[in-house]
Structure 1
Amino acid sequence: MAGIRKFKREGKLKQSEKRTAVTNAVGKLTLKEMHRNFMRYKRAEGLAPRTLHDYEVTFGYLLDFIGGDLHKNEITAEVFIAYKDYMLNDKGYSPHTVNVRVRALHAFLKYCYEEGYILEPLHNKVKTVKAPIDNVDALTPQEVKALLSVIDEDWFTQYRDKVIIITLLDTMTRVGELFAVKRDNVDLNGGTIYLEGTTVKTRQGRTVPISYRTCKLLAEYMQETADFNSEYLFVTYDGRKLNEATFRHSLRDYGKKAGLKGNIHPHKLRHTGALLYVMAGGDPFSLQKILGHNDISMTRRYIQMANANVKDKHERFSPLNNIKF
């Protein structure tokens, strides 16, 4: 007698039973193999190459700690808690450094749990550590003037670098974002620059404002470079797209020539612009939008630094300084 086809399932597996079934099916996957699948998934999401590189590097640090690979039954919360303890107390890494690695680990473990590679939501136990809000590295207005003063505008490359420095300060963009800008993305009439989603860290395009002075400077620069016939805004002396490393090297040299302390790098200009924006009265919410931050936690650092600067000024210019009592 022929069997009767079932049109309805007699019972459904509970969520925990489903996860157990999936986990058993992939039970031979090691930690490295899970991470390989994780990276394939992240690449398919279209993450920026730098973000993908950071995931690979931070996972390498974890492998160095555990001394190799792990099988499924060896992947426990204790391993990752010990890793955090090792970074903080044995290596003496800053909370910021530890949290960068923990966040990458959290994303990986969450993926493993959601895919059924592991039964326990270990990502909920791998939390960031409390960290003080540190001051960011920024230049003073006097140091910015000193930096610009050593640039010889008679040379095209140095004139271009001056335009870049001023644009970075004004727009507070990341150097990679600015160097990917095309001439068509610059709206001098509207006073804005559009950053394409494929070129920014968050993968979300955004429009940043530029001041009248920067518009005027860019108009002169764009007119001078029109004959290069390049789609990109910032180019070499022979019209090719400018390389970030070339500018970083030049900026470092300008800093040394100006007698500035520490390494002068593009991100310091971003910090400087953000801090001066707040000190001039800019609100944190518009700053967050300009910077392209997903949350306001980083922006709060600039607020804290601006408040500290106000305290210093109050000490120097207190009304009581001229009153004897």
Structure 2
Amino acid sequence: MTHIPPLSPRPLRHLSHVRRRVLTAAQLRGQGVTGADVNERCRPGGPWQRILPGVFLLHPGPSTAEERVHAALLYAARSNAPAPARAVHIPVQPGAEDPHAAQPYADALITGLAALALHGFTSAAPLLSLDTIDVLVPRMRRLRSTGCVRIVRTPSLPAPAFVTGVPVAAVPRALADAVAELTDAGAVHQLLTEAVRDGYCEPASVVKELTAARLLGRPHVMGAVDSLKAEGRAIAETHLYRMVHEHGLPDPVWNVDLRLPGGPHLGGLDAYWPEQAVAVELDIRTPRQDKDAVWAEYARKREYLERLGITVVHITPRKLRAAMEQQAAVVRTALMASNDRDPAAHVVVLPR
């Protein structure tokens, strides 16, 4: 049999790194491995196997989850340049990364349930149990789904997130691609709830991706999104409670409606300090709503309340989670500034 040069001073079979266990035909050719050599080694009972078209697993037996993900990316990548011909002369210290081991994954991202599993979702099935791995590629790529790979096309490839070095779609996009293949309402609800509850993303970003994917017309998706909005509000309210108590703000009255005595309803507020006439309102708009119309309503209410001498602080769930101390400082400043303002009009405070 033709001698196959090793990819490092150690024999190929002793290399455990996944990027040494899964290689493309182009990469093997770059190491002097001919097509005939590959065919010989991939015969039944041989030491290698073809895992996907043009992608080879350099050991017998089942592939690992990591190998399947790597193979899927190599199959879908725009180009897989062969490793440098002189790679054989580069010594690799035990435990060190071979400088030529990194492979390009041009124009390919893991998405869908596989991406959610990599992000750490407990409600997503483990990678090894997935029949298919979704790979996101630009629409014009000439690729077809095959084996364990399902090709998902997009007009513009989003910027990747990296999980243990693997390029994956950000959580909102991965959710949309996963939901597109799911018909079980419970599974959709679990994924969306975990995304918001565990802080992977905001409800608005999820709804934006679902809207772009034209999935909101599906009844089981619409139901999950309605629950998602309620979940997002509950989480934001919890963070608001934490902000008040952990940053030493005085206790407000929570979830109230304001009315003028004997007059019209002024609107609901998430927190209100009657003595200082300072209010906090959570901004939980989603892309499903008409942004201009909803914001106009926010602005009208705020303007009316401020004409009555009530300071309104708008806080988004994202800012509340990512910059709680800064938001607490804004509220504290508004409370302290109340001493320098004219007294506010008398309003009736009712539970909401």
Class of the TM-score when normalised by the shorter of the 2 chains: under 0.3
Higher relative contact order (CA 8 A, sep 6+): 1
Question: Normalization by structure 1: what TM-score?
Answer: 0.23
TM-score normalised by the chain length of structure 2: 0.22
Larger Rg: 2
